[in-house]
Each structure stands twice: as structure tokens, then as C-alpha cells.
Chains A and B, each alone.
Chain A
């Protein structure tokens, strides 16, 4: 057996099994988690929750004893680890962002704190390739890795009561887009005019975990054009 990491297993109640990797944020670990995830399937497992260094299996019924399942996962893990790694090229998805105080209520304060010009910030934010680690927090909310260190900024002490959907924000060492209007503690620096989560589509999210996300700076006319084009048209959406 050549397993790259030592995994730990802990039940979360009697309906879920938490599998943990070493506790750090690391592209190699998240790739390993997704590799194991794709090797696990059983009708009794109704949900899989992926986060930075964990995979949680949610079962449809109570399990008296998780040891047979742990044994099963260990076997699958050894199998997948011994496979020749076939490098699947990840997709690169470019998302347009309008970086302007008109749509970003925290932009000016953020630049003041960071003693940075708008063009410098745009350059730093758009030059990076961000790995989509996983979705969480809200439907379609992307946990992205790779924020440039110079852009890191602690979260707000008091979260804003309402962050508008599409807001592009920075919180600590993370950056992301709020797909839905919600309270939030990140600093909003721009706005993405695309709909990022559409439950009417068979694939409701624009990207898959492992994909690379890039941001592209757009100006006001293009922003409004995309906004007009991507706004969901009520009653015209068809289910699938």
C-alpha cells in the first residue's frame, strides 16, 4: 500500500463518517480528497461533504458500527493511490468582474487600508489562478485557493447585514463571490454580473471542484451588457 496520507476516521453521530487528512490548506490534499471521493459510491451514502482537509459521508440510515465502512474506505483509498495518476487537464473559467465603488461598497475603504491603488489591486486580483477547492456556506459558494498575499485582509469585525449576490469579496486569506444575497463579513471589492448558481440547470454551478478560476476586469458598458444578458428571465427557464 502506498497511501499518500494517513487518514483519520471519526463518526459524526450515527449517520455520518468524517474522514480527515492532515489539517492544512493544500492543493495536493484537496486533489487527494476528490480522487477518493470519486472512488466511493454506495446507495446508502446520500451525501458527500468535501472541505479543505475532510470528506464526510452521510448515510441514509443509522449505523450501529462504522468499522466495516472504515475498512471499505481504506481499501478504496489504497486502490486509488496505487493507480497510475492520469492527469486530467482542469478547465479554466474566466469570470468578469466590475471593480468599481458603484457596485462595491467596501472598495474605497479596502484600498485605503491596504494603501494600494485601484489598478494595482485589479492587477493582483486578476493575475492569479485560483483553484476551486470545494463548495460550501451557500449553494454555489466557491472556496478558492491562491489569493495573493498582498491582498489578504482580516474579515470585518461586524458582518454587513446584506451582501448583494454577485459580490466579489476578500475575507482573510480567501477570495470569492457571494452567489446569493446574504449577511457576510468579507470586504466587497467588485461585482460579477453572471448568475453563478441556477437550480434549473442540470449543472447548477459554473465550475467543478479542481477547475481553475480567473477574474477578468471589465468596464461599465460591458458590465451592463452582461448583466442584461444574464439576468434570469422569469418563467422562461425550463426544468430538465
Chain B
């Protein structure tokens, strides 16, 4: 068990997501930064789908009730164990009564706390990912006890090759907010309906606005003359254009269908990178041709 001393602004249990239920209107959910999530599991020798905690904007504090091992990946919020700073992206042995605290923000938005063998909260419709109306909780609360896998022995077999591949991918979160972050994007199904002049506007620099697990709003508006479309599919990474000209990038808890034209589709890596961008970050779409 892990005792939640402070839950932080928004923390939830996430895994690879709830796949196979989109026909019932159920979003995929799952870790927003999939690369960092998989890295935590690879470091610990876990299955790639074992559940971890996703901590948004730090501020969380946990007390371990049992011996285990953890890995912290994604956003760097100066984690400390019993007041000693601990490293990111490494296996850290933990003893009963140890206290893990997240402090000042250094980089990123979402931190993944993986534990050896994974978190064992309820599995609903094939996944432990929190989602309101499907799991009992949609965020972790102060005073809660989070069940984790109990270590039988302390030997682990980590696959260094997976770990290194993931580390070499874009597992960076240290973006300079003023330098536009390039997000690789395919054109979306309704892109061709845009007026050629309006397409040009999409090459500009945008600023990240309000965001949560459902989606990211971009602050700047662009002209939009596309007539309304019938409700159709939407995916994590789909960039929608509202009638008012606002761009919305859907994330993992976003609805599976929507009525707004789909202008771009981010590739998975770009979607993961965006999930580590805070409000104010400059971004640019880099079309994949």
C-alpha cells in the first residue's frame, strides 16, 4: 500500500488505457505521456501495461506502507525521499515508512510514479485507468491507501534495451516556453476543406492555453469557414477547429466522437510531448508529408 499524504493538484492511476470500448462511447484514457509511462515500467522490469500514478503539477506526498522499488519519469518536480533528493529515470529502492515528496517544478507537467509490479487498484473494463463514471474514483484523495504489488523477492530482470530506446526517444520535458516546440502532425480528414489562405494560418506559432486530461486549448484563433460536419470519430491527438476558430487538441480522456472539423492528427510522440507542455508554452505544427 501507498498512503496518500497529499494528493497534489490532480493525480490519478493510469495504465495503457481502456481499449475496445469506443463503440460504447468510452474514451481510451491511459497515461497522457505514454513514453514516460512505459519508461517507468521498463526501468522496474514491469509489464509494459502495469499501472502507475500520473501526478499533474507535483505537490504530492506519499508514505510507503511496504518495501518496494519505484521509478520516477516524465515531469521533474524535485522528488525527495525522506528529504533527500532522488534521481529521475532510475530504479529507487523504498523501505517501509519512507516518505516521497514532490517539490519545486523543474520541467514538464506530468510525472509518472511507477512501482515495482504495478499499482493494483480495481480493473474496470480491462483497465485501471481512472475515469469518472467508470472507476469508483477519478482522482486520488488525501488519506487514501493505494494497493500495490507486493514484492516476493527483490530480484528484477529489466530489459535495458527497451529502457535505452525509450530514454533515447523524446523523453524530454525541458522545453523552453518561448521557443516553439515542433509537433509532428498529419493532416486531418477535414483539412482539405479549409480555404488555402486559412491553411497558411495554421503554420503560425500557437500558445498553449487551458488544458486537462480531456484536451488542450490553444490561445490563438484562426479563420474557419468550414461548414458544420456530422458527428464523426475523434482520437487522442486529433486537432479540432471550432466554429469560432479555436483549436482544441484532444487528449486521452477526450470524447470518442465530435462534431468539429479535424484539421490535424498528432503522431503519438507529439501527443506525449504536448502533455508535458504547460499553459504559455509556444508550439508549432510540423506537417508530416
Using CB atoms and an 8 Å cutoff, list the residues of chain A in contact with chain B: 10-16, 18, 20, 23-25, 46-54, 56, 58, 60, 62, 134-141, 143, 179-180, 197, 199-200, 204-205, 209, 239
| Contact with A11, one of B19, B22, B133, B186 (Cβ below 8 angstroms) | B186
Q: Taking CB as reference atom, which chain A residue is nearest B231?
A: A51
B23 and A209 contacting across the interface, CB-CB below 8 Å: yes
A135 partner residues in chain B, CB cutoff 8 A? 23-25
- Nearest CB of chain B from residue A103's CB, rounded to whole Å: 20
**Residue in B22, B25, B230 with the greatest tally of chain A CB atoms within 10 Å:** B25
A12 and B265 contacting across the interface, CB-CB below 8 Å: yes
- Nearest CB of chain A from residue B193's CB, rounded to whole Å: 11
Contact of A136 with B231 at beta-carbon distance under 8 Å, contacts A11-B186, A15-B268 already known: yes
- Chain B's interface size range is 35 or more
B267 partner residues in chain A, CB cutoff 8 A? 13-14, 62
B268 and A49 contacting across the interface, CB-CB below 8 Å: no
- Surface stretch bound by A, among B54-62, B145-153, B254-262: B254-262
A18 and B25 contacting across the interface, CB-CB below 8 Å: no
B265 and A49 contacting across the interface, CB-CB below 8 Å: no
- Nearest CB of chain B from residue A12's CB, rounded to whole Å: 5
A136 and B25 contacting across the interface, CB-CB below 8 Å: yes
Q: State the CA gap A78–B51 with chains docked (Å).
A: 42
Contact of A51 with B232 at beta-carbon distance under 8 Å, contacts A13-B265, A46-B19, A58-B22 already known: yes
| Contact with B266, one of A13, A18, A134 (Cβ below 8 angstroms) | A13
A58 and B231 contacting across the interface, CB-CB below 8 Å: no
B232 and A54 contacting across the interface, CB-CB below 8 Å: yes
For residue B107, CB closer than 8 A to chain A, the reply is: no
Q: State the CA gap A180–B19 with chains docked (Å).
A: 20
For residue B189, CB closer than 8 A to chain A, the reply is: yes
A25 and B134 contacting across the interface, CB-CB below 8 Å: no
**Residue in B24, B229, B238, B268 with the greatest tally of chain A CB atoms within 10 Å:** B24
A137 partner residues in chain B, CB cutoff 8 A? 25, 255-257
**Residue in B28, B189, B232, B267 with the greatest tally of chain A CB atoms within 10 Å:** B232
B26 and A18 contacting across the interface, CB-CB below 8 Å: no
Q: State the CA gap A192–B188 with chains docked (Å).
A: 38
A49 and B189 contacting across the interface, CB-CB below 8 Å: no
- Nearest CB of chain A from residue B18's CB, rounded to whole Å: 10
Q: Taking CB as reference atom, which chain B residue is nearest A25?
A: B230
Q: State the CA gap A56–B188 with chains docked (Å).
A: 13
A23 and B230 contacting across the interface, CB-CB below 8 Å: yes
Sampled A-B contacts (19; CB under 8 Å): A12-B189, A12-B233, A12-B238, A13-B265, A14-B267, A15-B268, A18-B233, A47-B22, A52-B232, A56-B235, A60-B19, A135-B25, A136-B231, A137-B256, A140-B25, A143-B257, A180-B132, A200-B124, A239-B122
Q: Taking CB as reference atom, which chain B residue is nearest A37?
A: B23
For residue B108, CB closer than 8 A to chain A, the reply is: no
For residue B125, CB closer than 8 A to chain A, the reply is: yes
What 6 A-B pairs are tightest by C-beta distance, nearest first? A136-B257, A13-B265, A135-B25, A56-B233, A49-B233, A47-B22
For residue B20, CB closer than 8 A to chain A, the reply is: yes
Q: Taking CB as reference atom, which chain B residue is nearest A60?
A: B19
Q: State the CA gap A15–B268 with chains docked (Å).
A: 9
B134 partner residues in chain A, CB cutoff 8 A? 139, 199
B230 and A49 contacting across the interface, CB-CB below 8 Å: no
- Nearest CB of chain A from residue B139's CB, rounded to whole Å: 16
A51 and B19 contacting across the interface, CB-CB below 8 Å: no
Contact of A199 with B133 at beta-carbon distance under 8 Å, contacts A136-B255, A140-B24 already known: yes
- Nearest CB of chain A from residue B151's CB, rounded to whole Å: 26
For residue B215, CB closer than 8 A to chain A, the reply is: no
